[in-house]
Amino acid sequence: MIAKASAPAKTILFGEHSVVYGEPAIAGAVNKRAYVTIKPSESDATIFRAPDIGFEAELITPQRKYILLKGKPGIIRYILESLYRVHDHTPIDITLNSNVPIGSGLGSSAAVTVATLAALYRYHNIRFNKQSLAHDAHMVEQAVQGVASPLDTLVSTYGGLVYLSRNKKVEHFNVKFNAPFVVGYTTKHGNTGKMVKDVRNRRDRNPKIINPVITAMGNLTNYAKQAVLKEDYDKIGELMNINHGFLDVLGVNTLELSRMVYNAREAGAIGAKTTGAGGGGSIIALCPGKVDEVAKAIDHDDNILKVKFTRKGVSSRVFK
Ligand code: MEV
């Protein structure tokens, strides 16, 4: 029997960092996916292969350990944690194919985790639904990372655009939103934990300045919610630009990020901002009718992706 599952990557449109202080956020699934295939092993070992990144390892699933056969480990801890929680440790072959570059800031770990768990549930004929899967994937991310916001795994499971309210209620937007985006990522991976801590320190040193900004970021996300509902791209673009300024105030933008943001705007993007934790990582530019111009303006060494939001969340099936 072969079990296959796939899940989309995501991008945060509004609300990174302010979401840590209970403010709302908007994130969406994009048309880049992680694909996981599980079948019985051809040997008596469990082998994990990710041909797109040239990685191969033998997995010792009861101990969440691996023996490196080829390449650089990156995503492997999410696979091991998922297997540890669900698998009966019989030998299997797991293959990961992905068009989500690791470290592109598109939440590749959430996409891989959701797809791995869904494939495992199918393989073992375990009943699940989107709610339980999003929850379990969040638990895996938390176990691996220590802290994780539930937003990434929610979006990778359900697909579409998601609004997380001030009281942590999840709303799914029922809009098409098919405007194109360009994502530009830097060579430096941002360290989310460190960036969150740096923002907290800045806030502690300057509470009367930073607290109102965090509140304003929440208000901005709520304006953006209305703009998304009306599919008012010009307004969304304007709010993205303001949001980038707020992220500057919080101190998470870098020269490389802001240079890409300004180059994108110069090339015709109607909005551009850092997305995710910053300090490295990536930017997102909204550029209807100007995708190629914006991509060209910020591309160096293939560090761009052209993406669109997608309603397609996790999908999985079994082949007997
Ligand atoms: C990172 O992608 C988003 C942050 O808001 C952290 C989090 O929400 O966990 C910076």
Q: Residues 225-281: pLDDT tens digits?
A: 999 999 999 999 999 999 999 999 999 999 999 999 999 999 999 999 999 989 988
Kindly write down the DSSP assignment for every residue of 38-100, as one continuous string.
Answer: EEE-SSSSEEEEEGGGTEEEEEEGGGTEEEEEES--SSHHHHHHHHHHH-----EEEEEEESS
Share of the chain above pLDDT 70, in %: 99
Helical packing angle, 130-145 and 108-123, nearest 10°: 120
Between residues 178 and 223, which one has the greater pLDDT?
Answer: 223
* 107 pLDDT above the threshold of 80: no
What are the tokens at 2? 């072969």
Please list the active-site residues. 152
The matching CATH number, chosen from 3.40.109.10, 3.30.450.40, 3.30.230.10, 3.30.365.10, for 2-173 is 3.30.230.10
What is the β-pairing status of strands 25-40 and 55-60? Answer: unpaired
* 100 pLDDT above the threshold of 90: no
DSSP 189: P
Atom of ligand 1 nearest to the CA of 278: 10
Helix (H, G, I), strand (E, B) or coil at 35: strand
Mutate to test the pocket of ligand 1, among 13, 17, 198 (most ligand atoms within 8 A of CB): 17
The burial class, CB within 10 Å (0-12 / 13-18 / 19+), for 237 is: buried
Q: Of 221, 275, 236, 237, which is closest to residue 253 (Cα–Cα)?
A: 275
What are the tokens at 187? 């060579």
Do the Cβ atoms of 11 and 181 come closer than 8 Å?
yes
What is the β-pairing status of strands 161-164 and 25-40? Answer: antiparallel
Residue range 110-152, pLDDT digits in tens: 999 999 999 999 999 999 999 999 999 999 999 998 877 788 8
pLDDT tier at 68, thresholds 50, 70, 90: very high
DSSP 187: S
Could you tell me if the CB of 277 is within 6 A of ligand 1? Answer: yes
pLDDT for res 103: 67
Could you tell me if the CB of 109 is within 6 A of ligand 1? Answer: no
Q: Which residues pair with 276 in a beta bridge?
A: none
Could you tell me if the CB of 252 is within 6 A of ligand 1? Answer: no
Mutate to test the pocket of ligand 1, among 149, 156, 199, 203 (most ligand atoms within 8 A of CB): 149
Q: Looking at the whole model, is its pTM more than 0.85?
A: yes
Could you tell me if the CB of 282 is within 6 A of ligand 1? Answer: no
Residue 219: other Cβ atoms inside 10 A: 12
- Give the CA-trace dihedral at 65, 67, 68, 69, to 10 degrees: -140
pLDDT tier at 301, thresholds 50, 70, 90: confident
11 C-alpha vs ligand 1 centroid, how far in Å? Answer: 11
245 Cβ neighbours under 8 A, 6+ residues apart: none
Residue range 282-299, pLDDT digits in tens: 999 999 999 999 999 998
250 C-alpha vs ligand 1 centroid, how far in Å? Answer: 13
Could you tell me if the CB of 46 is within 6 A of ligand 1? Answer: no
Could you tell me if the CB of 281 is within 6 A of ligand 1? Answer: no
* 178 pLDDT above the threshold of 70: yes
3-state helix, strand, coil in the chain (%, to 5): 40, 25, 30
Average pLDDT, the chain: 93
38 C-alpha vs ligand 1 centroid, how far in Å? Answer: 31
Dist. CA 263–CA 284, nearest whole Å: 12
C-alpha distances out from residue 214 to 22, 138, 196, 221, 268, Å: 9, 25, 13, 11, 28
277 C-alpha vs ligand 1 centroid, how far in Å? Answer: 5
Share of the chain above pLDDT 90, in %: 82
Domain ranges of the chain: 2-173, 181-305
pLDDT (mean) for 64-73? 93
15 C-alpha vs ligand 1 centroid, how far in Å? Answer: 8
Atom of ligand 1 nearest to the CA of 152: 2
Dist. CA 203–CA 200, nearest whole Å: 5
Residue range 181-197, pLDDT digits in tens: 999 998 777 778 789 89
Q: Does domain 181-305 have CATH number 3.30.70.890?
A: yes
Could you tell me if the CB of 192 is within 6 A of ligand 1? Answer: yes
Residue range 303-317, pLDDT digits in tens: 899 999 999 999 999
